[in-house]
Amino acid sequence: MSVKDNLTNIKSELPEGVTLVAVSKTKPNKDIMEAYEAGQRVFGENKVQEMVQKWEDLPKDIEWHMIGHVQRNKVKYMAEFVSLIHGVDSPRLLKEINKQAKKHDRVIPCLLQIHIAEEDTKFGLDKAELHELIDSEEFKALEHIKIVGLMGMATFTDDMNQVRREFAQLKSMYDDLKTKLTDINILSMGMSGDYTVAIEEGSTMVRIGSSIFGARNYA
Ligand SMILES: *Cc1c(COP(=O)(O)O)cnc(C)c1O
């Protein structure tokens, strides 16, 4: 199956209102261009340097999403062009994004990453930290970032009941956040292995890599 066929199949399964982020990390420009030529414009990367390089090389109407964990000292390299940062999980990172966005006279849309998985290796805020952050005066003063939703990754397991429970938990935090902030309209959950469940549980944005581009050459 070609990138184009994979993309077409996945898109035909997505309900209206669910955005597809094609996760192109580690993949060459020619694969991205194949997806681009099939109409895809939203791509996700997890390393800032790699995303910057691709942004420089590829058509400028691509929307680049940073889906990985972001180090504060790398924010400056992507502040000019990044469309959405999915993995924001600390006030310090948010402040740095705000600072760099200001230099470019932009407001950068961000998702707060929530820890929903069982494994403690995954990044993210818990419920208490989320509320502490959004209730803080410091947060309210940030004019160059906009929180537009939440992102989460479920436990890596075959137990789809567990995955479903974790997504449902994130959805309920998302619904709650909507009552507290305006402009909340993105719930980023679901990858190649679990996006069907994620959509059933209310995802509005899925991040799909290997089902489009094939397996990556690392674990
Ligand atoms: C790599 C990655 C994905 C895509 O994973 P696939 O299983 O290849 O679809 C989604 N989200 C994040 C945060 C990732 O790092």
Ligand 1 atom at minimum distance from 193 CA: 7
pLDDT of 219: 45
For 166, phi then psi, to 5°, come to -65, -40
Name which of 1, 22, 2 is nearest 11 in CA terms.
22
Q: Is 83 in the pocket of ligand 1 (CB under 6 A)?
A: no
Pocket test for ligand 1, best of 26, 47, 121, 191 (most atoms within 8 A of CB): 191
- pLDDT in 10s for each residue of the chain, 219 residues: 899 999 999 999 999 999 999 999 999 999 999 999 999 999 999 999 999 999 999 999 999 999 999 999 999 999 999 999 999 999 999 999 999 999 999 999 999 999 999 877 668 999 999 999 999 999 999 999 999 999 999 999 999 999 999 999 999 999 999 999 999 999 999 999 999 999 999 999 999 999 999 998 764
Q: Which residues contact 78 (CB under 8 A, 6 or more apart)?
A: 48, 51, 52, 55, 64, 66
Q: Is 208 in the pocket of ligand 1 (CB under 6 A)?
A: yes
pLDDT of 52: 98
Cα 28 to averaged position of ligand 1 atoms, centre (Å): 16
Cα 159 to averaged position of ligand 1 atoms, centre (Å): 18
Per-residue tokens: 215: 């397996």
pLDDT of 122: 60
pLDDT of 218: 64
Pocket test for ligand 1, best of 70, 167, 207 (most atoms within 8 A of CB): 207
Q: Partners of 65 in the beta sheet?
A: 44, 84
Q: Is 192 in the pocket of ligand 1 (CB under 6 A)?
A: yes
Alpha carbon 92 to chain centroid distance? 19
For the stretch 168-177, contacts whose Cβ atoms lie closer than 8 Å and that sit 24 or more positions apart, written own/partner, are 168/201, 169/116, 170/114, 170/116, 170/201, 171/201, 171/202, 173/114, 173/127, 173/130, 174/149, 174/150, 174/202, 177/130, 177/134, 177/149, 177/150
Q: Strands, DSSP E only, in 2-144?
A: 19-23, 42-45, 63-66, 84-88, 108-114
pLDDT of 27: 97
Ligand 1 atom at minimum distance from 213 CA: 8
Q: Is 162 in the pocket of ligand 1 (CB under 6 A)?
A: no
Ligand 1 atom at minimum distance from 86 CA: 13
Q: Is 67 in the pocket of ligand 1 (CB under 6 A)?
A: yes
